[in-house]
Chains A and B, each alone.
Chain A
Amino acid sequence: MNVIETRDIVKRFGKVDIVKGINLKVEEGEVFGFLGRNGAGKSTFINILTGILRPTSGSFSILGEKVPNEEVKKRIGVLPDYTAFYHHMNAIAHLKYFANISGKKVTTAECLRVLKWVGLGLDANKRVGKYSFGMKKKLGIAQAIIHDPEVLFLDEPTSGLDVESAIEIQQLIIKLKEMGKTIFLTSHNLYEVEKLCNRIGIMKDGKLQKLGTIAELKAYYRSKLIVTMKHSIFPQDQEHTVIQWLNNMSEEIQREDEKTIITLEKEEQIAQIVRAFNQYKIDIFRIEVDEPSLEEVFLEG
């Protein structure tokens, strides 16, 4: 089932089109990553999906229901790109209030559990006016998940967090994914996107420029794999045959006694080489594949 489905979403601010017709489908259980430069229109698009902004034209549905729809709102959780809270209230009061609005009563224990997940366990009773930027972000994530929604929209969930906290949040996202939630997130951290997302879309100038799984995009933007192998010395009687065999496989080979760097076209070829070396009784100590990084995909075009 498509959990999110958009048709020609356009958003105009004044006379400028910021989002220029986006068609997108996200399936149940997917973690979809949305990338793009500053000002590309990612937040604008996500804000339309979550009901913060009204689209200038186009339509979309979430969980199979046409939006805006009050029932759907109860089943989604949102971390907007800008998080501000009520200064005089503490974290638990916030979570209870927000959960209530979503139509769900939560106990203090449940609030504490979610706050622990995001790393605010010790600051639960502090007034939010005293929170740092990162702490507010964490509370933003907590309020997005407190009512146990099916779909999550997280706009830059880890930006502004310290390294440890960012990893904690990434682990939380993985946990939520394992719980079967559909997650739509934006991020500027390619490493993180690669770690978390099944599929990504790259937005440029208000349009969806690239869309696909990370493997697809990589395959599309670079067809070659550079494989570096560390192995035992080839047996003397068979050295010639092995080299011959490798030459058949690829034209680009650099060889040292215990190291071979070979450029391949397909992943299956790596498996073939491993099998062959096995037959020739050559031990493989290490294989490194230099794939095109997501950075290259990102910068391309």
Chain B
Amino acid sequence: MAITKKEFFQLFKSVKSIIMIVVLLVSSYYFAKYTEQLVPILELEQTSSWYAGGLLIILLLFGPLFVMSLSHDVLNRELSERTMRFLVTKTSKANILFGKFLGVWIFWFVCFTVCYVITLFYSKSFDGRLFLETVSLLTYLVVITLLLSSVIKSPQYTMFIGVIFGMAFSIFQMVILESTAWYSYLKYLMPLFYMQDEDFKFLIVFLQAAVMYSMTYFIFKRTDC
């Protein structure tokens, strides 16, 4: 699909994304290389897949920031510049949204798969569950970025909010998971809550993404271009 292709290659073309890919590659490389020294320091609970787990941790810490800062304007940029008008006269809004989602998603999927393959050289063992768990988080982040871009109409604001949110989100998640106050119920909204144990609860994260995707579609459909 044309929109997907355009979004995908556009992400590769920007300087920001190149920097981020480099950061990702370098950090996953070093993480993999020095994992054994790091494990005791970080007191990780899991017993297997340290290497790939490192990648997941990077994604948990920096993923929101990376995805948001690169893709915060995936919808509202075209709306505010009104190039969206050309798209909506040519295809349905469902197609536009899915095309954009897929483009951004594939971009991050490719990035992380490459990083994952790098860590494989060190770990020499492939953990499908962990890989899928990483993908679920990735999907969650891409969709929440889409949602942000559909709720807030100005690319300047989403840039600002995206960066703040991106940095705060990881910290926020951990605070909530640790807390016992009334707002601790928010933990059910957090992807991290479903990713704590080594099981398949993380599949719920896909469900969360699906719900947010529907919300985005609902908002986008009602937006006049």
Which residues on A are within 8 Å of B, measured CB to CB?
50-54, 68, 70, 73-74, 76, 78, 80, 82, 84-86, 97-98, 100-103, 143, 147
Contact = CB atoms under 8 A, between A and B. Distances in A.
19 contacts: A51-B88, A51-B89, A52-B88, A52-B89, A52-B224, A52-B225, A70-B92, A73-B89, A73-B90, A73-B91, A74-B90, A80-B86, A84-B81, A84-B82, A85-B83, A97-B2, A97-B6, A98-B90, A101-B2
Contacts of B91: 70, 73-74, 101-103
B124 interface: no
A98 B86 contact: yes
Contact of A53 (B83, B95, B224): B224
B222 to A, nearest CB: 7
B3 interface: yes
Given A52-B225, A70-B95, A101-B3, A86 B83 contact: yes
Given A52-B224, A80-B82, A98-B90, 15 more contacts: A50-B89, A52-B225, A53-B225, A54-B224, A68-B92, A73-B89, A73-B92, A74-B90, A80-B86, A82-B82, A84-B82, A85-B83, A86-B83, A97-B2, A101-B91
A183 B111 CA distance: 47
Interface residues of B, number: 18
B205 to A, nearest CB: 31
A132 B81 CA distance: 17
B218 to A, nearest CB: 13
Nearest to A96: B2
B215 to A, nearest CB: 18
A216 B95 CA distance: 44
Nearest to A48: B224
B80 to A, nearest CB: 10
Given A54-B224, A101-B91, A84 B83 contact: yes
B87 interface: yes
Given A82-B82, A84-B82, A84-B83, A102 B222 contact: no
B85 interface: yes
Contact of A82 (B3, B85, B89, B92): B85
B2 A80 contact: no
B2 A100 contact: yes
A45 B81 CA distance: 21
Contacts of A97: 2, 6
Contacts of A68: 92
Contacts of A147: 90
A175 B90 CA distance: 23
B90 A80 contact: no
Contacts of B88: 51-52
Interface in B57-98: 81-83, 85-92, 95
Contact of B90 (A54, A82, A86, A101): A101
A73 B89 CA distance: 6
Nearest to B94: A70
A115 B3 CA distance: 22
A151 to B, nearest CB: 11
A98 B88 CA distance: 11
A100 B2 CA distance: 6
A80 B85 contact: yes
Nearest to B83: A84
A76 B2 CA distance: 18
B86 A143 contact: yes
A80 B89 contact: yes
Contacts of A53: 224-225
A54 B219 CA distance: 13
